[in-house]
Amino acid sequence: MKGSSPVGGNNNNDYSFKILLTGDSGVGKSSLLLSFISNFVQDLPPTIGVDFKIKQILVGGKRLKLTIWDTAGQERFGTVISSYYRGAHGIILVYDVTRRETFTNLSNIWAKEVETYSTNPECIKILVGNKVDRENERAVTREEGLALAQEHKCLFLECSAKTRENVQQCFKDLTMKMLEVPSLLESGSVEVKRHILKQKQEDRFPCSGDCCSQ
């Protein structure tokens, strides 16, 4: 498992939210995340296991810490990844508009995983059709994507990690919706308080063992 944060250790957050990216391998989940985090776009190899990144943003006047988990999208990692659904405040279900099987698998595999493993009943979900820059190769219409999103009670957006079209909007729409749900705000603020308490304990007891007697 890998992890990185492009921002400093700022504890002055109002809420801390966990977001999960899921969907078939190769649909562009890692590219979407990288485009959002660093404004840098490139073709990435499939994620092995799970990766995560942290970004702090300002939305609706609130300071949010987003911990975004990027899953492999390969069935052999399914038993490992099930644990990462727990506690998620937002889930981004991604498919490739040029590969119909990735769209079909959202219903057959990924939506069922969300229903089975998600522990936040009011978790916000957004269905994202990626790679709209390849319009001439499109295999899934926007109308089909919208219909599936409505069926699973998800937000919906089409985007392109390559051109960055709607990438920021995807995360903004998700976080704005999370801020409307009292239960998510409550658990998000608890996480912030827990982190602050841990930091205070570390500041009070900066070392252990024999380090202070050297």
Name the pLDDT band for 20 (thresholds 50, 70, 90): very high
Share of the chain above pLDDT 90, in %: 49
Candidate from 49-63, 66-80, 135-149 with smallest mean pLDDT? 66-80
Position 30 pLDDT exceeds 50: yes
Q: What is the pLDDT of residue 47?
A: 44
- 65: tokens are 């810490």
Q: What whole-number distance in Å separates Cα of residue 159 and Cα of residue 97?
A: 10
73 touches 101 (CB < 8 A) = no
Interval 186-201: pLDDT, tens: 988 877 766 656 655 5
Element (H, E) at 125: strand 124-130
Residue 152 has pLDDT above 80, yes or no: yes
Place of tokens 């998510």: 184
Would you list the DSSP string of 2-44?
A: EEE-SS------SEEEEEEEESSTTSSHHHHHHHHHHS-----
DSSP symbols for 139-172: -S-HHHHHHHHHHTT-EEEE--TTT-TTHHHHHH
pLDDT in tens, 117-126: 888 889 999 9
pTM of the model: 0.80
Q: Which are the contacts of 132, defined by CB distance < 8 A and separation ≥ 6?
A: 97, 138, 158, 159, 160, 165
The domain made up of 15-193 has a fold known as Rossmann fold (3.40.50)
Indicate if the pLDDT at residue 33 is higher than 60. Answer: yes
**pLDDT, tens only, 153-162:** 999 999 999 9
Half-sphere exposure of 133 (CA within 13 A, CB side): 10
Rounded average pLDDT over 56-62: 87
pLDDT at position 4 is: 42
Predicted local confidence at residue 75, as pLDDT:
52
Q: 48 pLDDT band (50/70/90 cuts)?
A: very low
* CA 35 and chain centroid, separation: 13
Q: Out of 26-40, 63-77, 146-160, 183-197, give the one with best mean pLDDT.
A: 146-160
